[in-house]
A and B are shown apart, each in its own frame.
Chain A
Amino acid sequence: MPDKPIEGEKRVFMTGNEVVAWAALVSGADIMYGYPITPQNEIMHYWTRLAPKYGREFLQTEDELSAGFTTIGGVLAGRKAFTATAGPGNTLMQEPMSMAEAMRLPTVVVIQQRGGPSTATVIYSQQEVTMTTLGGNGEGLRIVYSTATHQELFDYTIKAFNTAWKYRFPTFILGDGYQAKMRESLTIYDPASRGIELVEAEPFFGKPGVPGVDRPPTQLRNTYNVEEELYEVLEGYFKDYEKIAPEVAEHEAFDVEDADLVVVSHGVVSRACKAAVKELRQEGIKVGYFRPITLRPLPVDAIRETANKARQFLVVESANGQLARLLKEAAFGCPVEMLSLFKPGVGITAEDVVSRVKEIAG
């Protein structure tokens, strides 16, 4: 059985779902639990073809609830387990992930957003931001990477496994139907060849020795008898999350120093925004580009710094203001004016952004 799925680096031309399967493989993922829903199905298709060649496992469950809870079981057993879903499946996945949040379990979930609400389209949207960042009962103690390119799907899937196991918060890759289904070129690589150290998985259950004799039993619960007991646990979690947030938060920005208006977007839409800002700059219009890569935790300091300098934010998203709500909270009190270009469940082009900026500029 070959040890390494990829030796060194390799230039490839693949769909995003195939990229995720390869990334999970090189991340040392041991087992995928999954349930079909478009547009993420091919992650399972590629995984089930690749995994047996490298001694990895797969289980097709009866639904997304089960996929999420079996993923939790895999993690408890000390394996790098993951799952993937979209849309109504993401809705169901919030139940297991709120339990992972309660127990600080390093689950990894890949979301390829589709249109919503409900079944809607199987194609694309950015309408799963609120659910993925804050879904489930609780406070949303989780990490969400929003990818924009296939290269990022690969890079951040590797990172997601490391982040999850290092910090022990449920970790999500937030892609979308366009990223899932389209083909583009990227470099896949063995993480070691780039000096990326993989964080080792550890068993929660079944450690050596007899529980209660050689070691205390590991006993996890998400139920508490009294308010104060829960409060104390959560206080600890909030403190941990607050501490790691600056380490985890990531963003990308350019031309913001002298910009009157900063175009803010995430995921695949930021590619259109990037092209638009470059074009507008060439025309001499003072616009900047800002993109949070982590939607949870948000890069709050960078957002506030930008919001204190720029006169206007133009928030561009394929949703009716799900990113905008997060930004408003992060930039609360900053003197920035929030403007928008929302096209819920619909793709956004550079031309759309250029014409909206010109309309604002008058």
Chain B
Amino acid sequence: MSVQPAMPKSWRVDTKPHKFCPGCGHGLVLKALGQAIDELGIQDRAVFGCDIGCSLLAWDFFNVDTIQTHHGRTTPVITGLKRANPNLIGIAYMGDGGGYAIGSQHLVNAASRNEKITVILVNNTQYGMTGGQMAPTTLPGQKTETTPYGRDPEKTGYPTQGPEMVAAITREGAYVARGTVANLRQLKNYLKKALENQMAGNGFSFVEVLSTCPTNWRTNAEETWKMVEQELPKYFKVGEIKVPGQKEGEANG
């Protein structure tokens, strides 16, 4: 008899194993999210929206009502849903391209309006689904299909600091954090707080998650883990950036 690792209750078992590449971080983020949904007991009213890009592979991931939308457009779909039925708990799930490039104006405006939704953005520093092109979050010097000699910040800018931007443009009531698949207990805690913040009707909740893409990074297990655990946090500081009720500077990891 083999012992299976426990799956979150809100996972849809008949669609497992999931469709992400081996070593991909999405499965870990979605596990933490599943646990958060379970612990908050919101499977009946959570709505999960995913983007185009690798995140779309999660369209049948949960036993939760789900919509898979267009590049960058998950935020407005969930915004429209939440506005029309505030009892639902809207989760917009996207990658760095969907949130910081094509969908950035939706992210910025939803944050500015303090929409009572939760946005989870998975940052793996490149476009996974389309074959590993540069993303707004690609590190300086990082090689991708469209920066074959390494990203030159003089030509293409520096990595987008998403949570810092969202924290800067949101007012009281917003929750902003950056987690990592290298610390799942902390990540689940952030995701739970982001959902609780929405449930309390406080305001916009945003969690960026540092994640892995061994396929496009062309890294083995050891290098993949080194990248997400050591390299990414040099540019992207892990921790809570904005917590309702706390004064600026009080929030921490």
Taking beta carbons and an 8 Å cutoff, which residues of A are in contact with B? Answer: 30-31, 33, 57, 59, 61-63, 65-66, 69-74, 76-79, 81, 95-96, 99, 103, 203-207, 209-213, 217-223
Binds A, one of B80-88, B93-101, B140-148, B224-232: B80-88
Given contacts A59-B79, A73-B82, 10 further A-B contacts (CB under 8 A): A70-B79, A71-B80, A72-B80, A77-B81, A96-B73, A205-B65, A210-B43, A213-B63, A217-B62, A220-B67
Label chain B's interface by main secondary structure: mixed
Is B66 a contact of A70 with CB atoms below 8 Å? no
Is B59 a contact of A74 with CB atoms below 8 Å? no
**Which residues of the other chain, B, contact A219 by a CB distance below 8 angstroms?**
59-60, 65-67
Is A211 a contact of B85 with CB atoms below 8 Å? no
B40 CB, nearest partner CB in chain A, Å: 13
A-B contact count (CB 8 A): 141
Is B73 a contact of A33 with CB atoms below 8 Å? no
A213 to B106, CA, bound (A): 34
Q: Does B120 contact A (CB under 8 A)?
A: no
A221 to B73, CA, bound (A): 13
Is A78 a contact of B83 with CB atoms below 8 Å? no
**Which residues of the other chain, A, contact B64 by a CB distance below 8 angstroms?**
211-212, 217
Closest to A206 in B: B88
With A69-B80, A219-B66, A221-B68 as contacts: A209 and B44 at CB distance below 8 Å: yes
**Which residues of the other chain, B, contact A78 by a CB distance below 8 angstroms?**
84-85
Is A79 a contact of B106 with CB atoms below 8 Å? no
A170 CB, nearest partner CB in chain B, Å: 15
Is A73 a contact of B83 with CB atoms below 8 Å? yes
Is A62 a contact of B43 with CB atoms below 8 Å? no
Q: Does B56 contact A (CB under 8 A)?
A: yes
Closest to A68 in B: B76
Q: Indicate which residue in B47, B59, B77 contacts A69 across the interface (CB closer than 8 Å).
A: B77
Is A211 a contact of B68 with CB atoms below 8 Å? no
**Which residues of the other chain, A, contact B44 by a CB distance below 8 angstroms?**
209-211
Contact with A along B91-114 (1 / 0, CB 8 A): 000000000000001101100000
Q: Indicate which residue in B12, B47, B68, B83 contacts A70 across the interface (CB closer than 8 Å).
A: B83
Is A61 a contact of B76 with CB atoms below 8 Å? yes
| A-B interface, 10 closest residue pairs, ranked by CB to CB distance from nearest | A73-B80, A212-B63, A70-B80, A73-B81, A77-B84, A62-B109, A69-B76, A77-B85, A74-B84, A205-B65
B residues 188-213 in Cβ contact with A at 8 Å? none
Is A205 a contact of B47 with CB atoms below 8 Å? yes
With A65-B73, A69-B73, A211-B43 as contacts: A220 and B81 at CB distance below 8 Å: no
B133 CB, nearest partner CB in chain A, Å: 19
A23 CB, nearest partner CB in chain B, Å: 20
B13 CB, nearest partner CB in chain A, Å: 9
**Which residues of the other chain, B, contact A81 by a CB distance below 8 angstroms?**
80, 84
A77 to B80, CA, bound (A): 8
**Which residues of the other chain, A, contact B66 by a CB distance below 8 angstroms?**
217-220
Is A57 a contact of B68 with CB atoms below 8 Å? no
Most buried by B among A72, A73, A77, A207: A73
Is A31 a contact of B76 with CB atoms below 8 Å? no
**Which residues of the other chain, B, contact A70 by a CB distance below 8 angstroms?**
76-77, 79-80, 83
Closest to A98 in B: B70
Chosen A-B contacts, 5 in total, with CB atoms closer than 8 Å, are A62-B105, A69-B76, A72-B69, A73-B80, A217-B66
B125 CB, nearest partner CB in chain A, Å: 23
Closest to A61 in B: B76
B42 CB, nearest partner CB in chain A, Å: 10
**Which residues of the other chain, B, contact A59 by a CB distance below 8 angstroms?**
79-80, 83
Q: Does B45 contact A (CB under 8 A)?
A: yes
Is B83 a contact of A57 with CB atoms below 8 Å? yes
Q: Does B122 contact A (CB under 8 A)?
A: no
Closest to B86 in A: A77
Is A76 a contact of B83 with CB atoms below 8 Å? no
Q: Does B78 contact A (CB under 8 A)?
A: yes
**Which residues of the other chain, A, contact B69 by a CB distance below 8 angstroms?**
69, 72, 99, 222
Most buried by A among B69, B87, B105: B69
Q: Does B52 contact A (CB under 8 A)?
A: yes
Is B80 a contact of A206 with CB atoms below 8 Å? no
**Which residues of the other chain, A, contact B43 by a CB distance below 8 angstroms?**
210-213
Closest to A213 in B: B63
Is A206 a contact of B65 with CB atoms below 8 Å? yes
